[in-house]
């Protein structure tokens, strides 16, 4: 016959285990609905009765587009949101993601007004995104422009020779290893790469010309890769107004016919506070380094880089 004390101990363990599961489940439910770190749903609840403007943030190097495009579409389809601000602080990035975000903004404009607001930097791909908006506003000291395309390559042939490494390549065609770091480019390869760069550059020029209602000839005069201050950009017709986020909100509200102070709705990743506790916040301190590593992947970029 089982010892009563042992039986009581087992029941206590089982009760404790059930209580632990219940508390864990309750904690998960609680943190999923409470506004820890903010969230679009919690901000909407807090701003009931106010007209809303959705804010999409494009910060850092643009290497992917999925999340940004998703947010733009969400705000475009949300009838409670009257307009959208694209808040940009970016040196640009990969060509395709920049184009996908640009196209998502154009699509959103079919439903509501979109304003691009630049912070410290809105260069190259950052500017490519901005020109899709109805209006662009930036600070007088914002760095913008850098209309152009870049591909970073290197040649380590001499270094390989010094350490006794002899690369060997077997390829299916003349241009299969174009851009190899182990040998200089041939003149024919340079021509192929330059033609590709010129084509992607032309796409940038066309986007700016359409977005800013300029001729392509005028855009090409501005599009030699240089950056401009906000003041210079305003004088050149590259932006519409000067000001920070507060002025961007006022301009957006005016365009959307909003009276009174609108509520700003931002998307914040759920459980962000928990990820920060688990050192994601510390990782963020090195985002500049991660961006530099990312943008040196093979490819062509709408990117302002001083390297």
Q: Which residues are catalytic?
A: 124, 176
For 177, phi then psi, to 5°, come to -110, 30
Q: Which residue has the tokens 């380590």?
A: 156
Measure the CA angle with vertex 32, ends 28 and 33; round to 5°: 125
Cα–Cα distance for residue pair 236/233, rounded to 1 Å: 5
Tell me what percent of the chain is helix, strand and coil, each rounded to the nearest 5: 50, 15, 35
Measure the CA angle with vertex 291, ends 207 and 287; round to 5°: 125
Cα–Cα distance for residue pair 100/271, rounded to 1 Å: 27
Q: Which of 91, 127, 95, 98 is nearest to 233 (CA)?
A: 127
Cβ distance 66 to 96 under 8 Å? Answer: no
DSSP element (H, E) containing 276: none
């Amino acid at each position: 016959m089982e010892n009563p004390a042992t039986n009581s101990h087992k029941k206590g363990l089982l009760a404790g285990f059930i209580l632990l599961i219940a508390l864990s489940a309750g904690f998960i439910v609680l943190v999923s609905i409470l506004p820890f770190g903010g969230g679009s749903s919690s901000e909407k609840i807090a701003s009931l009765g106010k007209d809303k403007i959705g804010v999409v943030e494009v910060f850092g190097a643009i290497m992917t587009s999925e999340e940004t495009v998703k947010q733009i579409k969400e705000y475009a389809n949300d009838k409670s949101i009257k307009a959208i601000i694209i808040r940009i602080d970016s040196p640009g990035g990969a060509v395709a993601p920049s184009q996908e975000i640009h196209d998502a903004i154009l699509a959103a404009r079919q439903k509501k007004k979109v304003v691009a607001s630049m912070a410290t930097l809105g260069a190259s791909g950052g500017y490519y995104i901005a020109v899709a908006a109805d209006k662009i506003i930036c600070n007088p000291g914002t760095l913008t422009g850098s209309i152009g395309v870049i591909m970073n390559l290197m040649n380590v042939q001499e270094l390989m020779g010094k350490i006794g490494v002899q690369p060997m390549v077997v390829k299916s065609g003349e241009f299969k290893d174009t851009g190899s770091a182990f040998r200089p480019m041939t003149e024919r390869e340079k021509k192929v790469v330059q033609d590709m760069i010129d084509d992607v550059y032309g796409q940038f020029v066309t986007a700016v010309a359409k977005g800013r209602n300029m001729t392509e000839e005028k855009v090409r005069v501005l599009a030699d890769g240089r950056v401009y201050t906000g003041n210079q950009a305003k004088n050149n017709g590259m932006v519409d107004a000067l000001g920070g986020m507060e002025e961007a909100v006022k301009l957006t509200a005016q365009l959307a016919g909003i009276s009174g102070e609108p509520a700003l709705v931002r998307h914040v990743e759920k459980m962000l506070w928990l990820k920060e506790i688990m050192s994601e916040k510390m990782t963020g301190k090195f985002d500049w380094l991660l961006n530099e590593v990312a943008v040196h992947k093979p490819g062509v970029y709408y990117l302002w880089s001083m390297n």
